[in-house]
Amino acid sequence: MEFRYLGVSDLKVSVVGLGTWQFSESWGVTNYEDAKKIVEKAIDVGINLFDTAAVYGRGMSETFLGRALKELGAREDVIVATKLPGEFLSRHDVFKGTKRCLERLGTDYIDLMQVHWPPLWNNFPTCEYMRALEELVHQGVIRYIGLSDFPVELMDSAWACLSTEDPVSNQVRYNLVERDAEKEIIPYAEANGWSILAWSPLAKGALTGKYTPDNLPEFKDVRAGSALFHPDNFRQVYEVVKLLREVGERHGKTPGQVALNWLIMASDTIVVIPGAKTPEQVEENVGAADWRMTFDEWLALEEASSKVRISNVVW
Ligand SMILES: NC(=O)c1ccc[n+]([C@@H]2O[C@H](COP(=O)([O-])OP(=O)(O)OC[C@H]3O[C@@H](n4cnc5c(N)ncnc54)[C@H](OP(=O)(O)O)[C@@H]3O)[C@@H](O)[C@H]2O)c1
């Protein structure tokens, strides 16, 4: 497994991590034993980065992940990244929310605490929650601070609030057909030594090749009504999938593995955190690391995906 440092920290994380939003009603892995098998497989195949959040299944994801790591005796060997939602960012709620995360995860420290999204409705000053997080680092309760879904202006101002710590990462949407993070966020990360945790790196499964324009299910999960799978958008996505398949055939790889490999190649700051609903999917996803497509193949995908224009105006 390839590893990359998380920002300026001493944490070496597998370049393919595991996203665990899937442990929730939103995605459907709501049976603990199923979740445990996914976590166990991830550890077996060399993943050491596990991404969760307080809001995933209202605590279900953290509870399942923490319990599985404890039962597998793996807590000390892995890096647990969780998140506080934008609504939990008053000073007292940063402390209370973190305490709840610790209880659900069954641990006394969190490796990476991320601000899930900036406060939108609550008017919390940026420095109020950043300073509270920094105090938690001083207490030894969290090891590093990360952001999620922050634009560069707020990355900058959030960082300026800290006196002893540096944020190590911003977690943002990044996949071959939704590449807006390349415009400002990834260059900022490169210039300032941050990592980018790429969420929805498989475009919620759209890049795996198992969905086709003629075989688009009526999703009953979080993807119901999703712009990515709207026929006008998905027709374009599918052109990229065809090329992913072609490239993959030359390397003995699946379209999803090629899609993740392309992201890993795009910038040294990138770590991908695909979600998985089965151990088999985890095993397949780690096959995105430890190889490289050729520059010509990379460029063909660059050009094909640049033509895709996902529109969110679908109603
Ligand atoms: N910070 C944020 O705001 C934010 C937002 C979203 C997600 N995230 C994080 O990012 C993680 C990943 O993002 P995501 O779950 O939105 O999307 P994703 O990783 O792009 O897609 C995950 C879905 O793709 C399908 N899949 C995965 N591996 C596969 C394989 N090998 N073969 C075929 N299908 C496969 C599975 O669904 P099916 O089998 O049902 O198709 C799986 O649930 C989440 O778990 C979460 O930790 C963070």
DSSP 146: E
pLDDT tens per residue across span 112-135: 999 999 999 999 999 999 999 999
**From atom 48 of ligand 1, which residue's Cα is the shortest distance away?**
199
What's at 75, amino acid-wise?
Answer: R
* Token duo for residue 302: 């660059």
What sign does the CA torsion over 191, 194, 199, 202 have? positive
Q: Element (H or E) spanning 111, and its range?
A: strand 110-115
pTM: 0.98
CA–centroid distance, 175 to ligand 1, in Å, is: 11
Q: Element (H or E) spanning 195, and its range?
A: strand 195-199
Q: Quick check: 193 and 172 in contact, CB under 8 A?
A: no
* Alpha carbon distances (Å) from 237 to 265, 293, 310: 20, 20, 8
So what's the pLDDT on residue 215? 86
CA-only gyration radius of the chain, Å: 19
Tell me which residues have their CB closer than 6 angstroms to ligand 1: 19-22, 27, 51, 116, 148-149, 171, 199-205, 208, 210, 256, 273-277, 281, 284-285
56 catalytic? Reply is yes
So what's the pLDDT on residue 290? 97
pLDDT tens per residue across span 189-204: 999 999 999 999 999 9
Q: Quick check: 213 and 228 in contact, CB under 8 A?
A: no
* Token duo for residue 107: 């641990």
Q: Which residues of the chain fall short of a pLDDT of 50?
A: none
Domains of the chain with bracketed CATH: 3-205+259-291 (3.20.20.100)
Phi, then psi, of 239 in degrees rounded to 5: -60, -40
Catalytic residue (choose from 5, 32, 56, 109) = 56
So what's the pLDDT on residue 298? 97
- What is the C-alpha to C-alpha distance for residues 124 and 266, in angstroms, rounded to an integer? 35
